[in-house]
Amino acid sequence: MVGAGVLGLPDAAKYLGWVGATIALVLSWVVSLYTLHQIADLHEVTAADGTVRRINRYHELGAYAFVDFGLTQWMIVFTAVHLFLIHVPSFNSLRWVSLVAAVMSMGYSTIAIVLSIMAGKQPGIEYNLDGLSTSAGIFGIFNALGIVAFAYGGLPEYPEGPDSVKCQ
């Protein structure tokens, strides 16, 4: 879990509490792991005639899962994606972007933890939700669950990774 979603986790813990936030994080991890295994199971699909078909890309998975989604629609989707990707100088430069993003994520998370510990408990600040209305508390809980889901949002990217690794 690396990225901007990590910054919202303290707010989620505020509404869910330590126990609830821990349970939500573990459940979100289990759901992400389950969907990762589902995608991995779809990597090789046995057709009705007994032939095994290998699905290496998300567009192939989409074509298999949504048969009615025609070629024209896929061309529009991938054209939009490629309009973004053509502005990247080379895919080799993306690994540096990922490295910088990971280092920055660890950096701002470490800074937030260290500064919070150094500041300690501030006088005159209440760390409970007693002043909230019932509806604000309920919406806060749903928002916290959304924050946790967003923090785990990019985990199941399985098919594209192994297929892009160079074979010897």
Say whether pLDDT at 153 is over 70: no
Handedness of CA 103, 104, 107, 109 (dihedral sign): negative
pLDDT of residue 23: 93
Q: How far apart are CA 62 and CA 107, in angstroms?
A: 37
CA distance 162 to 36: 13
Q: Above pLDDT 90, what percent of the chain?
A: 6
Helix (H, G, I), strand (E, B) or coil at 46: strand
**Backbone φ and ψ of 124, nearest 5°:** 80, 5
- pLDDT for the residue numbered 34: 85
Answer yes or no: are the C-beta atoms of 148 and 24 closer than 8 Å: yes
pLDDT of residue 134: 86
Residue-wise pLDDT tens digits, 109-118: 788 788 888 8
